[in-house]
Amino acid sequence: MHQFLQYTIIGIPLAAVYAISATGLVVTYTISGIFNFAHGAIGMLAAFAYWQIHVGWGLPSWLAFILVVFVIAPLFGALIERLLIRGIEGASEVITIVVTTSLMIGLLGLANLVWPPGENRNVVGFFNDTKAISIFGVNVTVHRLIMVGVAVVVVGLLWLLLNRTRIGVAMRAVVDDRALLQLNGGRPGLVSMFSWALGSSLAAVAGILIAPTLNLQPITLTLMVVTAYAAAAIGRLRSLPWTFLGALILGLGESWLKGLIQTSWTIGSFQLDKLGSAFSPIVLLVAILFLPQPRLRSAGQQQQREHWKVPSMRTAVVGAVALLAVAVGVALLLNPTRQLLLVDGLFFALVSLSLVPLTGYAGQISLAQITFAGIGGVATAMIGAQFEPLNVIAAVAITAIFGALVALPALRLQGIYLALATAALAMLMYELVFLQDLIMPANSRQVPPLGVGDWLGVGEWSVSSSLAQIVVLAVAFGLCGIGLVKLRRGRWGRRLTAMKDSPVACATLGLSLTRTKVATFALSAGIAGLAGAIAGQTLTTDQLRFEANFPITVFAVVGGVGVVSGALIGGLMLGVLPVMNSVFATNAIGFFKVFEIPVSKLTAVLPGLMGVSLGRNPTGISPQIEAGFAPMLRSRVATIGSIIAIPIVWVLAYTEVIDGWTFLAVLATLLGLLPALAVLVSGTLASRRAAVTTILAVVGLAGAFVLPWATLSESSNAIRFCALVAYGVVVGIAATATAGLFEVPEELRPPSPDMIGITSPLGRTDAVEAERALGFREGELVGR
C-alpha cells in the first residue's frame, strides 16, 4: 500500500506537467485549427534556453524563468504563427501536419547545433536546497510541489483569460465562428498569433518544470512532452477540463505501471515491464478510437492546393529503366562503403513510395511507415535464415494484413485524428513489440539477403554484395512505381482521387469508402513491408523508433507525394544526409572567422527547413524539376544528346580519366545547361543570341573539365562541393538568361495601357491602372 501511495504522489506532479503542455496544444488547435506537432520541441528548446541563461550565463533561476516563459517563448510562438502557420491556412491536413512535423525536426536539429550532444547538462529544480516535505510518509521535493501549484495557477489564469478579458472572448469567438468575428470587426489573425504565443509559453513552462527529472537531451525532452498528445485527445482537442482529466490519468497510470511492474514479470516470452512506457500511446489510441470525434472543419470547403500531373505508362516504364541504369552507374563509381549509403537511399525511397497511394492518391496520412517496414523485415527474419522469393511474398502479405487491420478501427478517422492514431500505433509497436527480446534479440535482428535455392540444380544464389542489393532495390522500386501509375490511371485511381476530393460525395454516389480505405492501407503497408523484407541488413531498435517515421513522411511530401518521382526524390534526399555527414564529417563552414559550424550538424536542420517550405509550395519538388526540364524533354535532339553526353562523362570517370570531383562538376554544369541547350538546338533563337548561348555553354563545360576541383581546398570537402554546385548554377543561369527563358511570354505580359478597352472590356480597375501607367493621379480622369 505504501508503494502504491508513493507512486501516486510521484505521478501527480507528472500529471501536472502533462496538463500544462496539453493545454497549450488545445489552445493553439482550437484557435488556428492546426495541430502543433512541434509543441514538444518548443518545450525542449525552452528548457535548453533556460539552462543556458541560468547555468551557462549565471543569471538567477527566477529571472531565467521569466525571460524564457514570458519573453522568448511567446515571441517565438508569435513568429511561428506569422511566418509559417498563416501561410498554410486553407492547405490540406497533410500539408499542415507535415509542416509542423518538419518544424519539430528542425528544432531538434537546431538544439543539437547550438548545444552539442554528449555534454553533461543538468537543470536543478527550484528550491533544490530546501528540505523535502513528507506527505503520508513520502518525501516530496519542493520542485514537485511547484509543478502541481503551477498547474493550478495555469487553470485559474486560463479561466480568467477566456471569461474575463476581451482577448479571451475573441478567442472563444474564433472557435465558434471565425468569419462572424471578422464581420464584426474582430481580427482573427491577431487572435491566432496570441494563441500560438500562449501555447508556446505553456510548452516552455512544461519543458522547464520536467527538465530536472530528466537528462537534458533534445529527443528525450521532446518525446516526454509528446505524451501530452494523449491528454489533448481525451479532451477532443477542445475541452480544457477533459484535457486536465486525461493528464491526471496519464500521470498516475504511467507512474503506477513503471513503479509497480517488476522487470521479471512476463506472460510467456512477453515482457510486461514495457507497459509503463506504452501506457501513453495506449491511452492515445483508445481516446481517438472510442471517443466521439468532432468535425475538423465545421464549415466551408477545404482548399486543395496540391496538384500533380498523371504520368503516362510509357513515362513510367522509361523512368524505371533509367532508374536502374543510373543506380548501377552511380554504384560502380563508389567504393563498397559508399554503396551502402546508396542502398539506404533506395530503401528510404521504397518506403516513401508506400505513401504515394495512401497520401498522394487517397489523401490519408500515416506516421507509421518505418514501423510497417520494420514488420516486413522482422517477419522475413523470423520466417527463416534462408530468404527466398516466396518468403518475400509471405512477409509482404503479413505486413499488408497488418495494415488492413490497422485501417479497420481507423475507418471513421481522418486528418489529424488519423495521423495521431498511426503515431500511437508506431509508439505501441516500438514499446511493446520491437523492444521484446523474442522479437529483437540484443536490440537487433539480421534480415537475410534475398536468395534463390538450388531449384534448378545450378547451385544457390543470394544477394551478397552492395551492388546486387542496389539492383534489387532499384528493380523493386521501378516495378512498384509502374504498378502505381497503372493503378492511378485506372478506375481504382479515380476512386482514390474522388475520395480525397470529397468523401461525402463518394458515399452519396454509393462508393464503398470502407473497402477503399482498407485496400489502400493494405497496399501502402505492403509496399513498406517489401522495403523491409528485401533490405538485407541488420535492423536495430533505434532504426524503428517512433520518431524515425517523421522524416519519411516529411521527405515524401517535400519530394511530391502525389507522383512516383516525388517519392524517389524524397527517399534519395533522406539517404543523402548520411552521405553528407560522411563526406563532410570533419568539415565546417566558417563565418568571417568568428565561429564555425560543422556541416554534419547543418544537415540535421535541413529536413526541417525543407518541410516548412511546403506552405508556399505544397506540390513538392518533383513538379518543379519537371517544369524546369520541360524544354529539354520537348526537344528530341536535346534529349538524345543528354542521353549520349552523360554516359560519356561517366565512362571518363569510371576509367579514371577524370576524378570524382571533376565528374560532379561536369554533371552539375550539364544539368544547369540542359534547358538552354534544348532551346538552342530547337533553332528558334536569333543568330546572335544562339551564338552567345553556344559560347557560354562551351566555355562553361570546358571550365568544369579543367578547373582543379580536387585541389581547390584540400582541407574541406564542403568548400569543394559548394564551389562546383555554385559553378554549375551560375553557368546554367547565364546560359538560360541568354537564351531568353527568363523572359515573360507574350501571352502572360500585361497589356499596354493604350490597348485597354480595345482588346478587352474596360472596367473600373482597368481605368485606374491605366491612369497610373500614363502618369495621372488616381481619379483625375475617371470620376470617383
Residue 462 is given by DSSP the state E
Does a structural domain hold residue 283?
A: no
Q: Mark whether 663 and 779 lie in a shared domain.
A: no
Q: Which of 230, 258, 286 is the last residue of a domain?
A: 258
pLDDT tier for residue 71 given thresholds of 50, 70 and 90: very high
* Span 615-670, pLDDT tens digits: 566 777 887 777 767 766 676 776 777 778 888 888 888 888 888 888 888 888 88
Neighbour count for residue 522 (Cβ, 10 Å): 20
Amino acid (one-letter) located at 378: V
Q: Is 135 helix (H, G, I), strand (E, B) or coil?
A: strand
Q: Is 603 helix (H, G, I), strand (E, B) or coil?
A: coil
> Is the model's pLDDT at 115 over the cut of 50?
yes
Does a structural domain hold residue 273?
A: no
Does a structural domain hold residue 584?
A: no
Q: Mark whether 561 and 645 lie in a shared domain.
A: no
Mean pLDDT value across residues 554-574: 87
Contacts of 254 (CB under 8 A, 6+ apart): 11, 14, 227, 276, 279, 280
Instruction: With beta carbons less than 8 A apart as the criterion, state whether 157 and 22 touch.
Output: no
Does a structural domain hold residue 268?
A: no
* Sign of the torsion formed by the C-alpha atoms of 732, 734, 736 and 742: positive
* More confident call, 527 vs 391: 527
How far is 158 from 154, CA to CA, in rounded Å? 6
Mean pLDDT value across residues 718-730: 80
Q: Which residue range(s) make up the domain with 225? A: 2-258
Contacts of 517 (CB under 8 A, 6+ apart): 362, 364, 407, 411, 499
Q: What does the pLDDT read at residue 466? A: 84
Q: Mark whether 535 and 641 lie in a shared domain.
A: no
Q: Mark whether 368 and 467 lie in a shared domain.
A: yes
Q: What does the pLDDT read at residue 45? A: 92
Q: Mark whether 492 and 539 lie in a shared domain.
A: yes
Q: What percent of the chain has pLDDT over 70?
A: 79
Q: Which of 575, 592, 625 is the last residue of a domain?
A: 575
Q: Mark whether 687 and 640 lie in a shared domain.
A: yes
Contacts of 182 (CB under 8 A, 6+ apart): 188
Q: What does the pLDDT read at residue 400? A: 92
Q: What does the pLDDT read at residue 736? A: 77
Does a structural domain hold residue 611?
A: no
* Span 420-440, pLDDT tens digits: 888 888 888 888 888 888 888
Distances (CA, A) of 49 to 204, 246, 650: 10, 29, 50
* Span 21-66, pLDDT tens digits: 888 888 888 777 788 888 888 989 999 999 999 988 889 988 999 9
Mean pLDDT value across residues 99-106: 86
Q: What does the pLDDT read at residue 523? A: 93
Neighbour count for residue 216 (Cβ, 10 Å): 21
Distances (CA, A) of 657 to 325, 362, 652: 21, 49, 5
Q: What does the pLDDT read at residue 482? A: 94
pLDDT tier for residue 767 given thresholds of 50, 70 and 90: low
Q: Mark whether 670 and 557 lie in a shared domain.
A: no
Q: Mark whether 318 and 230 lie in a shared domain.
A: no
Within 212-335, where are the H helices?
A: 218-226, 228-234, 240-260, 275-290, 313-332
Q: Mark whether 95 and 227 lie in a shared domain.
A: yes
> Is the model's pLDDT at 296 over the cut of 50?
no
Q: Which of 539, 558, 575 is the last residue of a domain?
A: 575
Does a structural domain hold residue 299?
A: no
* Span 689-713, pLDDT tens digits: 778 888 888 888 888 888 888 777 6
The CATH number assigned to the domain holding 385 equals 1.10.3470
Q: Mark whether 642 and 531 lie in a shared domain.
A: no
Does a structural domain hold residue 468?
A: yes
pLDDT tier for residue 592 given thresholds of 50, 70 and 90: very low
Amino acid (one-letter) located at 28: T
Does a structural domain hold residue 302?
A: no
* Span 166-219, pLDDT tens digits: 787 777 676 666 666 666 666 777 888 888 899 899 999 988 988 888 777 888
Nearest CA among 448, 396, 406 for reference residue 429: 406
Report the range out of 378-392, 720-734, 768-782 with the highest average pLDDT: 720-734
Q: What does the pLDDT read at residue 764? A: 57
Find how far residue 203's CA is from the centre of its chain. Answer: 21
Q: Mark whether 645 and 569 lie in a shared domain.
A: no
pLDDT tier for residue 8 given thresholds of 50, 70 and 90: confident
Average of per-residue pLDDT values in the chain:
78
Q: What does the pLDDT read at residue 600? A: 57
Q: Mark whether 228 and 84 lie in a shared domain.
A: yes
Q: What does the pLDDT read at residue 11? A: 83
Contacts of 169 (CB under 8 A, 6+ apart): 162
Q: What does the pLDDT read at residue 321? A: 93
Domain count, the chain: 4
